[in-house]
Amino acid sequence: MTPDPQSRSDPAADPTVPPAPEARGAALAEAVDEEWAFRVVVAVRSDDLDPNGHVRGSAYLAYGDHARWAALDAAGVEPADLRARRIGPVNLETTLRYHRELRPHDAVEVVTAFEWGTGRTSRVRQQLRRGDGVLAAEVSSVGGLLDLDTRRLLPDPGRYWLAIAARPELLGLG
């Protein structure tokens, strides 16, 4: 059964979708500081390396993707809730800027900042830092929330995330 389209225009209006649990992610993350809303540490794995022993470019992007989904999880956003609302996040553009090499067995700290506006898209900025604190790379993404029925971007995605997330501060909201 498809939810009433009105529930997508007002994210809190759908009574069939339970709110995200209050405590979800409480032990996983805290807001980092005024600039960075979320932090996670990822280990460089052997399968992240190319034949020359360098971390593959696609692995840098995967670290950024992992951190974005970890932020949603820590904020209490459940993929099942998104599916029930018939909405889903989409990535429209990603830019990767390398600064320093990541090496095998490095611990990579990924800090994430979400930038919300009033249009149909938002921006996510991320820094990947080596264990010694050196900036290894920056990832910048533009994304939105897609109405899965109309296949159109929803207006003001921050409003939806604010209504869905138990801990919106981890998404730079509230």
pLDDT in tens, 128-145: 999 999 999 999 999 999
Q: In whole angstroms, give the CA distance from residue 57 to residue 72.
A: 23
Q: CA–CA distance from 6 to each of 12, 86, 119, 151 (Å)? A: 10, 12, 19, 16
Whether CATH 3.10.129.10 fits 31-171: yes
| Residue 172: how many other CB atoms lie within 10 Å | 23
Domain boundaries defined on the chain: 31-171
Among 114, 102, 111, residue whose Cα is nearest residue 77? 114
Report pLDDT digits (tens) over 78-136.
999 999 999 999 999 999 999 999 999 899 999 999 999 889 999 999 999 999 999 99
**Whole-prediction pTM:** 0.81
Contacts of residue 141, defined as CB under 8 A and 6 or more positions apart, other chains included, come to: 64, 68, 91, 93, 94, 95, 123, 124, 126
φ, ψ dihedrals at 91, nearest 5°: -100, 125
